Amino acid sequence: MSEHNWWKNAVIYQIYPRSFSDSNKDGIGDLQGIISKLDYLENLGVGALWLSPVCRSPQDDNGYDISDYQDIDPMFGTLGDMENLIEEAKKRHIRIILDLVLNHSSDEHYWFQEAKKSRENPYHDFYVWRDGVEGTPPNQMRAAFGGSAWEWVPQVQQYYFHQFSVKQPDLNWENDRVRREIYDMIRWWVKKGIGGFRLDVIDQIAKEPDQGITVNGPKLHEFLRELSRETFQEGELVTVGETWGATTELAKCYSNPDHSELSMVFQFEHICLDQMEGKEKWDLAPLPFLKLKEVLSRWQRELYGKGWNSLFWDNHDLPRIVSRWGNDGAYRVESAKMLAILLHGMQGTPYIYQGEELGMTNIRYEIEDYRDIETLNMYRERLEKGYGKEEVMASIYAKSRDNARTPMQWNDGENAGFTEGKPWMKVNPNYKEINAESQVKDEDSVFSCYRKLIRLRKEYPVFVDGCFELLLEKDENVFAYTRTNQDSQLLVICNFYDQTLEYPLEQPDSSMRLLIGNYKDADQTRMLRPYEARMYFVEKKK
Ligand code: TEU
Ligand code: CA
């Protein structure tokens, strides 16, 4: 693997800093907290850490509203701590990936503070302004977190555009001064030794609000290629774009092996399957399993040789996968491992979201204990619209972003070892049963399964280059596939549900070596037990 493509056989770990580890007892995770856990992460074997935003921010959207791109928020530490983290991580062969929020800034950023002073201000044009139509906003566009996408500023007698909260005004990418400022800032971080970037809602930067366009605007790829040319193409940086609007066709542009845009993108087609069609994520629907297989295999097939996938179940915006598509009751451990094996056998770069490697689960709190702006706005809006409280809470239990944001469960001590202060959000009460300390020393834990998967990926080239083929396409319970290269093959077979099944393929023979599974005696049984997953390796005869 050339150093330029190091991320093809690495696994990336996402940290949500405010919930990871608190070093100074204020109840909020911080950079020193992360440094104190680097040995744990090295032991797990990950090659890079993607940190959700740690730059200076009023925290209206937990840091996705940046007021200074070149400083660390005091809540998380200092620039010195960041340099320290980069250095300490490097000693353990771990790179640090920064979360860049380039679609919008905070309204408390200097640029916006200036921009709203007058139409003549040199920064006015850094944002997207429009006149009103007879005292009302220019159009009906809505913001992702509720309400109009337009906000009136009396001082300049204009509305500004915001796709997210009012405190997240959209940057105007049409303005080349904006783009130049951004490139300078990125180069500054690269000089500091940053290993790569995750680009927040990057497919929304080329908006055309007059046409009602937010995602995939006409100038998107032009902007991306310029951004890449000016910043990313030097060295060994990894870049991953967050693109809710990606199709496989678009993903081939984004992740073109010629490096003209990005290394890869996060696509969300599989993640949106358990909601009512054409509705919001809160409108729950059962997971259509055959469709899940179809979607994931289409992405595998179409990007083969032409692009690069990222593989994920979880992130800071999504519920916990074991509660969502696994079983967080009797089969928590088995189903968490099954989902891990299923995902990690595919082609692409796997991402692990903090706590996923422990099989951490969703929460059911009283509404007062939720913190997320999206959840709280939705709760208010839906009650106003006449939804019943129970129905709204059911949506929150299933989909709230706070499911992923509860403090990391380190041990069975107070506050799960996350803080010695009062945690900013309640700890999941199951931490005595589910925590890192007990799993690290247990060979049969979910943690050990992830650890092993990461090692296998480094050991067997077929994980990186094998061609994907879906088996048993119409099977309603089993997800099975092969990955094949010149001299070997992987066979992955997973029972996705809690029924015991007859083993649906030819019985494994002595040419097949079990690399990993989630039951101890997998080789001896002709059945697939609840959530059973096996991964076999077959050497081709020469
Ligand atoms: O999320 C993008 C985004 O579109 C979210 O609104 C997403 O639809 C929602 O979280 C699903 O529940 C990114 C970040 O990942 C998210 O944390 C930020 O709030 C958002 O951008 C704004 O920066
Ligand atoms: Ca702290």
Spatial distance between the Cα atoms of 176 and 478, rounded to a whole number of angstroms? 51
Q: What is the pLDDT along the chain (542 residues), one digit of tens a residue?
A: 567 799 999 999 999 999 999 999 999 999 999 999 999 999 999 999 999 999 999 999 999 999 999 999 999 999 999 999 999 999 999 999 999 999 999 999 999 999 999 999 999 999 999 999 999 999 999 999 989 999 999 999 999 999 999 999 999 999 999 999 999 999 999 999 999 999 999 999 999 999 999 999 999 999 999 999 999 987 799 999 999 999 999 999 999 999 999 999 999 999 999 999 999 999 999 999 999 999 999 999 999 999 999 999 999 999 999 999 999 999 999 999 999 999 999 999 999 999 999 999 999 999 999 999 999 999 999 999 999 999 999 999 999 999 999 999 999 999 999 999 999 999 999 999 999 999 999 999 999 999 999 999 999 999 999 999 999 999 999 999 999 999 999 999 999 999 999 999 999 988 999 999 999 988 778 999 999 999 999 998 76
> CB–CB of 347/464 below 8 Å?
yes
| Catalytic position from the list 81, 200, 334, 374 | 200
Per-residue pLDDT at 454: 98
Q: How far apart are CA 423 and CA 404, in angstroms?
A: 15
CB 239 within 8 A of CB 196: yes
By three-state DSSP, how is residue 95 classified? strand
| CB of 271 shorter than 6 A to ligand 1 | no
pLDDT number for residue 3:
77
Residue 479 pairs with which residues in a beta bridge? 494
CA 147, 150, 151, 157 dihedral sign is: negative
Residue for token pair 């998107």: 220
Question: Does the annotation mark 539 as catalytic?
Answer: no
110-161: what fold?
A: Oligo-1,6-glucosidase; domain 2 (3.90.400)
Distance, CA of 358 to CA of 314 (rounded, Å): 13
pLDDT score of 1? 57
Tell me which residue has its CA closest to atom 18 in ligand 1.
Answer: 64
Find tokens 């020469």 and name the residue.
542
How many other C-beta atoms lie within 10 A of the C-beta of residue 308? 24
The structural domains of the chain, with segments of one domain joined by +, span 15-105+177-364+430-449, 110-161, 466-539
Q: What is the C-alpha separation between 273 and 288, in angstroms, rounded?
A: 7
Residue 93: helix, strand or coil by DSSP? coil
Residue type, 379: Y
d(Cα 185, Cα 227) in Å, to the nearest integer?
Answer: 12
Single pTM value for the model: 0.97
Strand 129-130 with 238-242, pairing = unpaired
Q: Which of 466, 197, 479, 259 is CA-nearest to residue 348?
A: 466
How far apart CA 56 and CA 2 sit, in angstroms, is 35
Q: Three-state SS for 125?
A: helix
Residue 323 in tokens? 């509660």
**Residues with Cβ–ion distance below 5 A, ligand 2:** 22, 24, 26, 28, 30
Distance CA 304, CA 466 (A): 9
pLDDT of residue 12: 98
Which residue, 526, 522, 525, 524, is CA-closest to 535?
522
Q: What's the rounded Cα separation, in Å, for the pair 433 and 336?
A: 15
How does DSSP assign 201-250, residue by residue?
TGGGTT-BGGGTB-SS-TTHHHHHHHHIIIIITSTT-EEEEE-TT--HHH
Q: Which residues pair with 238 in a beta bridge?
A: 196
Fold of 15-105+177-364+430-449: TIM Barrel (3.20.20)
pLDDT at res. 382 = 98
How many whole angstroms from 179 Cα to the centroid of ligand 1?
Answer: 22
Q: What is the CA radius of gyration of the chain?
A: 23
88 catalytically annotated: no
User: Which amino acid type is present at position 275?
Assistant: Q
**Residue among 110, 69, 109 at smallest CA distance from 194:** 69
Contact 51, 95 (CB under 8 A): no
Q: Do domains 15-105+177-364+430-449 and 110-161 have the same CATH topology?
A: no
Regarding the beta carbon of 144 and ligand 1, being less than 6 Å apart is answered yes
Superfamily designation of domain 466-539: Golgi alpha-mannosidase II (2.60.40.1180)
Cβ atoms within 10 Å of 490's Cβ, excluding its own: 22
Task: Check if 449 has its Cβ closer than 6 Å to any atom of ligand 1.
Answer: no
Ligand 1 pocket member 30 (CB < 6 A): no
- Which ligand lies nearest the alpha carbon of 17? 2
Q: Give the C-alpha separation, 298 to 156, whole Å.
A: 49
Facing residues of 183 across strands? none
Residue 501 DSSP SS3? strand
CA–CA gap between residue 220 and residue 76 (Å, rounded): 33
Return phi, psi of residue 537, to 5°. -120, 130
